[in-house]
Amino acid sequence: MDRVRAWLPLEGTDPVMGPLIGALLLLAVVVLRAALRRTRVERRLDSPLTLIVIGLVLGEIAALNPDRTGLFLWAQAGFVAAISIGIVRALLILFIQFHLRARQGAGVSAIVRDVGSVVVYFIIILLVLRFILDINLASLVATSAVLTAIVGLALQDTLGSVISGLVLELEDPFSPDDWIRVGNYEGQVVETGWRTTRIRTRVNELVTLPNTYLAREPVVNYSRPDPRYGDTLRFHAAYEAPPHAVKEIVTAVFAADPAVLRIPEIEVRSTAYGESAMEYAIRYWIDDFKELERIRDRLMTNVWYGLRRADIRIPYPARDVFVRTEIPEPKLARGGDAVATLGRVPLFASLPPDALQRLAASAQRLIFARGETVVREGDPGSSFYVIERGRVRVLLDEGNGHRGRLVAELGARDFFGEMSLLAGEPRSATVMADEDTVVVEVEHHAFKEIVAATPAVLEPISEVAAHRLAEQQALRRSESLAGERSPSAHTMLQRFREFFRL
Ligand code: CMP
């Protein structure tokens, strides 16, 4: 045992074996680092291995100066401190990073890791000072009031942050990846350290908040324990629009959005009789807080289209005085002429002008936003649409409520909705606006008049309808409807005639 002690640069070092063993150890660590080069372990163990190398170099200096002079003592102290801290650090890293994470899938929080290691290093330094250099720092600090005051003042803020960090760790008001708001800052928690906590905002700012700030300010956690968030949007609608109608339209717009939860229910409340409009607030729930701004944008946009379709104005403030009497129209809705739109459809080319006029008089022009559904597969339907501007996609349900298979894309002058209108059957497909789209909607009774006066109009429509049905069935053939034959144009015509009792 004594021989082994003599090999180390401790008390009486062996003048030959001491430096030799030190050099061999140094070589071993350098070889180990080279072997681990560019591996995950090496990156993590970089700092402890550097400390151990420094320790071994100091050990060599001590071993080569065994005369126990000042240099020997300091080199010896450096040797013991650097080697001990390096080994403790390496063990901690290996244990926490690899053993705990790999075995239990759980890590140790940064603050416990950091505070724990700082305490251990501090104890090692105290012991080295005490037993090797014979400096008793603890009693020095305890007996020297001035030193205590200096150390105390210097560490005041840091200690406050560390203690706040530990309190946060115990209270656990948030964990990494949670969305939180503290004071004016809102973002996703990246990491809680021993002095600070970092959050990343929506615009990718990395905000470093001192733990003392987090301990002082109220912390709002959007992710835990319940990830659902009840957001409120406000909007205005014209006084002449009955509040129940407004509420129904807006609720339908919100319910159609995939990000809005069904439970808790959507609530629309009229909140005030404003200067120029009735004010409403709508409370809806989502569970994806990070998407909040995009969801709000989509909903506010679709509310505009929904109110527009129902002919409900969103009034300008009363102080904007419009001299003209008509209501200012948005560009998309302006200028359309239903007669011209219907007249451009080859289907109606044979209609006499007065019939076209009558059809247009009872038709409505509607605007749909990109992504909005115009008709939904399976819904009852009794109207027919001609596209004035924009594009739509015709999609088939893929079963279990997923709509997805694209059957066709239609643009200006095309029409859709003829199948339900003419056969009284539910909608055979979903039609969704692919960009902002204006359609002219013709109702069943108006069409019936035209068919009664000009039955020939049914023929070209039956051909188109038969062709479309055949396309749908070709797509569905791989599924349950395999083998079913599509009706011919003639059969379709018969069906339409029966429905119109011709
Ligand atoms: P309808 O069944 O009333 O509602 C959905 C509409 O999608 C349908 O009428 C047609 O107008 C349209 N549609 C269905 N299949 C096709 C297709 N293959 N090509 C173009 N449009 C179609």
Binned at pLDDT 50, 70 and 90, residue 433 comes out as very high
List, for residues 267-278, the tens digit of each pLDDT value. 999 999 988 899
Binned at pLDDT 50, 70 and 90, residue 492 comes out as confident
Sheet hosting strand 278-286, strand order edge to edge = 229-237, 278-286, 267-273
Predicted pLDDT at 175: 85
383 Cβ below 6 A of ligand 1: no
Higher local confidence (pLDDT), 487 or 84? 84
407 Cβ below 6 A of ligand 1: yes
DSSP 3-state assignment of 160?
helix
Least Cα distance to 268 among 248, 285, 287, 288 occurs for 248
CB 240 within 8 A of CB 278: no
408 Cβ below 6 A of ligand 1: yes
Predicted pLDDT at 83: 87
Ligand 1 atom at shortest distance from the alpha carbon of 471: 18
**Atom 8 in ligand 1: residue holding the nearest Cα:** 417
**Atom 20 in ligand 1: residue holding the nearest Cα:** 408
Ligand 1 atom at shortest distance from the alpha carbon of 470: 18
77 Cβ below 6 A of ligand 1: no
**What gap in Å lies between CA 297 and CA 286, rounded to an integer?**
14
Residue carrying structure tokens 């470093």: 208
Least Cα distance to 222 among 297, 290, 167 occurs for 290
What is the average pLDDT across 223-231? 91
Mutate which of 374, 414, 416 to test ligand 1's pocket (most atoms within 8 Å of Cβ)?
416
Q: What percent of the chain has pLDDT over 70?
A: 85
**What gap in Å lies between CA 284 and CA 124, rounded to an integer?**
57
Task: Give the Å distance between the CA of 413 and the centre of ligand 1.
Answer: 15
437 Cβ below 6 A of ligand 1: no
Higher local confidence (pLDDT), 483 or 169? 169
Task: Give the Å distance between the CA of 466 and the centre of ligand 1.
Answer: 10
What is the average pLDDT across 483-488? 65
Residue carrying structure tokens 């063993």: 21
Mutate which of 375, 415, 419 to test ligand 1's pocket (most atoms within 8 Å of Cβ)?
419
What is the average pLDDT across 328-339? 60
Binned at pLDDT 50, 70 and 90, residue 170 comes out as confident
Predicted pLDDT at 390: 93
**Atom 7 in ligand 1: residue holding the nearest Cα:** 429
63 Cβ below 6 A of ligand 1: no
Predicted pLDDT at 481: 47
**Atom 16 in ligand 1: residue holding the nearest Cα:** 468
**What gap in Å lies between CA 207 and CA 190, rounded to an integer?**
10
Q: What percent of the chain has pLDDT over 90?
A: 29
List, for residues 117-146, the tens digit of each pLDDT value. 888 888 888 888 887 777 777 676 667 677
387 Cβ below 6 A of ligand 1: no
**What gap in Å lies between CA 409 and CA 430, rounded to an integer?**
12
**Atom 12 in ligand 1: residue holding the nearest Cα:** 416
DSSP 3-state assignment of 302?
helix
Higher local confidence (pLDDT), 348 or 228? 228
- 130 Cβ contact partners less than 8 Å away, ≥ 6 residues apart: 136, 137, 138
471 Cβ below 6 A of ligand 1: yes
Task: Give the Å distance between the CA of 417 and the centre of ligand 1.
Answer: 6
Q: Flag whether pLDDT at 284 surpasses 70.
A: yes
Least Cα distance to 283 among 267, 297, 261, 270 occurs for 267
CB 395 within 8 A of CB 432: yes
- 414 Cβ contact partners less than 8 Å away, ≥ 6 residues apart: 386, 387
What is the average pLDDT across 233-261? 93
Task: Give the Å distance between the CA of 418 and the centre of ligand 1.
Answer: 7
What is the average pLDDT across 398-421? 82
CB 287 within 8 A of CB 226: no
Least Cα distance to 430 among 386, 374, 480, 388 occurs for 374
**Atom 5 in ligand 1: residue holding the nearest Cα:** 429
**What gap in Å lies between CA 235 and CA 269, rounded to an integer?**
11
Q: Where are the alpha helices (DSSP H) in 256-392?
A: 292-309, 338-343, 353-361
**Rg over CA atoms, the chain:** 39
420 Cβ below 6 A of ligand 1: yes
Considering only 58-62, 277-281, 384-388, which range has the smallest mean pLDDT?
Answer: 58-62
Task: Give the Å distance between the CA of 219 and the centre of ligand 1.
Answer: 53
Q: Flag whether pLDDT at 493 surpasses 60.
A: yes
Q: Is residue 253 classed exposed, middle or buried when 0-12, 13-18 and 19+ CB atoms within 10 A define those classes?
A: buried
Higher local confidence (pLDDT), 16 or 330? 16
395 Cβ below 6 A of ligand 1: no
Backbone phi, psi, residue 404, to 5°: -165, -40
429 Cβ below 6 A of ligand 1: yes
- 214 Cβ contact partners less than 8 Å away, ≥ 6 residues apart: 164, 168, 182, 197
427 Cβ below 6 A of ligand 1: yes
Beta bridge partners of 405: 396
Around Cβ 51, how many Cβ atoms within 10 Å? Answer: 20
394 Cβ below 6 A of ligand 1: yes
DSSP 3-state assignment of 24?
helix
Task: Give the Å distance between the CA of 395 and the centre of ligand 1.
Answer: 9
What secondary structure does DSSP assign to 187-255, as a single string?
A: EEEEEE-SSEEEEE-TT--EEEEEHHHHHHS-EEESSSS---EEEEEEEEE-TTS-HHHHHHHHHHHHH
Predicted pLDDT at 482: 46
Angle (nearest 5°) at CA 343 between 340 and 344: 90
When the pLDDT of each residue in the chain is averaged and rounded to a whole number, the result is 82
DSSP, res 406: E
Predicted pLDDT at 391: 96
Task: Give the Å distance between the CA of 451 and the centre of ligand 1.
Answer: 20
Angle (nearest 5°) at CA 457 between 455 and 462: 105
428 Cβ below 6 A of ligand 1: yes
Question: Taking the complete model, does pTM exceed 0.75, yes or no?
Answer: no
Mutate which of 391, 427, 443, 468 to test ligand 1's pocket (most atoms within 8 Å of Cβ)?
468
